[in-house]
Amino acid sequence: MAAPHKLAAMREHLELPRPMLLARTVVWNLLESAGLPLGALALGAWLYGRDAGLIAGLAATWLTVLVRKGATGQVPSLLMISALVLTVQTGIAVSTGQLWLYLLQFPLADLAMSVLFAHSARSASPLVGRLAAEVVALRQPSGHHPGLHRFFQGATWLWAGIFFILTVCLAVMMVTEPTAAFVTLSTVATVGLVLAGIAVSTLWFRSVLRRSGLGLRFASS
């Protein structure tokens, strides 16, 4: 019977970047998908008004997409999702100017996210798996692990469901609550459900790793 330390050495691992590199990767992806468009939106709105700000934010996002595509040949899923959702939001806001149609962008954005996650859930490359590789640079073992793939598929369905629940909640609040209350309640609902989804996904992921005999460690370089 193999000694415990030999079994540990033979155990396959998933790898994360070292803590500082991991933090830098996550921050850059969030900045790229949200920080740059928000900064352009704020500057454009301050200089020329709301519609100009919305268009500036959209232009900054698609410019980032084009730069990424030209530099690396790939566009991270998180950035592409942000670009598509922001296009819908900006089109609605600029073309109508109607407050209720402007507020409609929030449930529409969540519906778009739900459809995107659900569409990829049964594919060979579920969206949660791609985001794990792109946002936190998770590196999987070379061998194929059906349990790990099933987790990414299941977690993708989970997030499709979370965004669908948000769509329904925000749509109901939009027609039953005044604007100020809608903004507050929709923010609370979004943050609460996203944090709950992260917690469930993390616990589920750890359980799958244990059952699959996989470890998790920081990369050596």
Whole-model pTM over 0.75: no
Below-50 pLDDT ranges, the chain: 1-10
The pLDDT tens digits of the residues spanning 174-196 come to: 888 887 788 788 878 888 898 89
Half-sphere exposure of 211 (CA within 13 A, CB side): 12
The pLDDT tens digits of the residues spanning 37-53 come to: 767 877 887 888 778 88
Task: Supply the pLDDT for residue 101.
Answer: 65
Interatomic CA distance for residues 108 and 101, integer angstroms = 10
Q: Are 54 and 90 in contact (CB under 8 A)?
A: yes
